[in-house]
Amino acid sequence: MASCLTIDLGLIGYAEAYALQKRIVAARKAGAIEDVLLLCEHPHVITQGRNGKREHLLAGENVLRQKGVEFYEASRGGDVTYHGPGQIVGYPILNLAAIRRDVVWYVRMLEEVMIRASSDFGVAATREAGKTGVWVATEKNSPRSAQGSQSGTESAEKLGAIGVHISRWVTSHGFAYNVSTDLRYFNLIVPCGIAGRQATSLEKLLGHSVDSRKVAARLTQYLGEVFSLDMQAASFDTLLETLPETGPSPDVTPPVAQPIPAVQERVSS
């Protein structure tokens, strides 16, 4: 079973994480490093994928500045999405040539990772035909009659999003899973370009707080299972030591916020 280094970056800026991804991708293409999973949270940021439409960004520059939200165009697929505290972002940098050369299958497996993790917390997340990500059915305006029939409608809210980039069969970008995310920030966008659909979070669905370390541990576990990888915890410093020298990297700095110690917790348990 191939190994996958799992690095907990904690809270890190989107630009810094993107620069780090690019460096790891280059090393993975050269065969200088094994597969890597980066786990992190981002400060408030909105990103637009290659297929994104600017009109799906509903807030102007002044509003974003007032709310402390950054904006970046990204090389991933997909439309416009939001990242922020309380959301676990996973960036798998995998050599699909050694696993399975199938982009659609890869995206479906990232969905499977989030579906299995959700199930462990009692949430039945599912796929929706023609839409990427994982969804949870929610009943709205559904009063029951005296006979117990239900007259309301059912819709689905998005719990986890996916946007990937693949170059020479090496993956980057990845998934975003809402644990305790402030869902009001999704009002600044049309999430993933799908009008009329709302985002949800694990805590909103369960009605109580959830330890993000346990969620991150489950996501790590299931990513290893679906891709048949041996997940090996490593520190940020170890990762930098493992990467080949590529000259100065002033835009890649160690994170300073409290990390999500999920990987270390799983290895030691």
Active site positions, annotated: 192
Evaluate whether 73 touches 114 at the Cβ level (below 8 Å).
Answer: no
Residue 245, C-beta contacts closer than 8 angstroms, at least 6 positions apart: none
Describe the strand order of the beta sheet including 45-48 as a list of residue ranges: 70-73, 45-48, 80-83
3-state secondary structure of 269: coil
Residue 69, C-beta contacts closer than 8 angstroms, at least 6 positions apart: 44, 45, 46, 59, 82, 185, 188
User: Which residues is 95 bridged to in the sheet?
Assistant: 170
Number of H helices, E strands in the chain: 7, 11
3-state secondary structure of 138: strand
Percentages helix, strand, coil for the chain, rounded to the nearest 5? 35, 30, 35
Residue 173, C-beta contacts closer than 8 angstroms, at least 6 positions apart: 21, 74, 75, 76, 77, 91, 163, 164, 165
Nearest to 118 by CA among 228, 180, 202: 202
